[in-house]
């Protein structure tokens, strides 16, 4: 089975996209435009979208490795499958919310799966989706390889002032890998809360 997966990973790839000429940074500067890194072929144009920093504002790109103005994404577009051995075994997650500046102690909130929380003192709201204790990406789906919390992750949607600014995954063991960035708050997954 692993050999079949390896075969498709290596040989069942789409043909390379035709190369299109991207204007050089020097040409963009000569045209009075802002110097930006060249986008890969077939990349959609970057415009002011939800999750991208306001014009003239600080960029989350430096922290995420994305070019300035790139919208925050965390959703892979893959289907989420919660295995039968995991369904009903977890009731909530613990999320830690920390202010990046100001010295306030981080707060930990327990939020039921499918529930939501308004972050006190802010206009942020976090909706909690699926929790996978042993997250694994397999083909076109995101699933869990078991019920032991070896790679805990939770899918969340974060809104600010009623507008969704992020939908994606938070990882307990790899909090630095999460793509959600906010100028004032950091939200991380602490752990899943089992039923019992």
DSSP state of 183: S
Instruction: Enter the tokens of residue 71.
Output: 């919208």
Helices (H), the chain: 2-11, 25-30, 61-64
- What are the backbone angles phi and psi of residue 80, rounded to the nearest 5°? -100, 125
- What are the backbone angles phi and psi of residue 145, rounded to the nearest 5°? -85, 0
Each domain of the chain, given as residue ranges in start order, spans 79-194
What pTM value is reported for the model?
Answer: 0.63
Instruction: Enter the tokens of residue 30.
Output: 């000569």
Contact 86, 147 (CB under 8 A): yes
Q: Tens digits of per-residue pLDDT, 59-99? A: 333 344 433 433 334 455 799 999 999 999 999 999 999 99
Q: Tens digits of per-residue pLDDT, 16-67? A: 444 444 444 444 444 444 444 555 554 444 433 344 433 333 333 334 443 3
Q: How far apart are CA 102 and CA 40, in angstroms?
A: 39
**Percentage of residues of the chain with pLDDT beyond 70:** 61
Instruction: Enter the tokens of residue 190.
Output: 């602490």
């Amino acid at each position: 089975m692993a050999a079949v997966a390896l075969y498709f990973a290596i040989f069942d790839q789409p043909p390379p996209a035709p190369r299109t000429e991207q204007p050089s940074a020097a040409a963009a500067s000569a045209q009075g435009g802002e110097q930006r890194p060249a986008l890969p072929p077939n990349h959609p144009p970057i415009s002011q979208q939800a999750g991208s920093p306001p014009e003239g504002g600080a960029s989350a790109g430096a922290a995420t490795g994305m070019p300035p103005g790139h919208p925050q994404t965390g959703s892979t577009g893959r289907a989420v499958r919660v295995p039968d051995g995991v369904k009903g075994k977890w009731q909530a997650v613990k999320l830690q919310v920390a202010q990046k500046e100001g010295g306030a102690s981080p707060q930990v909130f327990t939020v039921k799966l499918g529930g939501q929380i308004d972050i006190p003192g802010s206009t942020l709201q976090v909706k909690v989706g699926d929790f996978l204790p042993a997250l694994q990406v397999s083909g076109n789906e995101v699933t869990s390889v078991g019920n032991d919390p070896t790679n805990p992750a939770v899918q969340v949607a974060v809104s600010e002032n009623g507008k969704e600014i992020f939908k994606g995954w938070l990882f307990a063991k790899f909090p630095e890998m999460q793509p959600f960035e906010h100028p004032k708050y950091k939200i991380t997954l602490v752990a899943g809360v089992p039923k019992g």
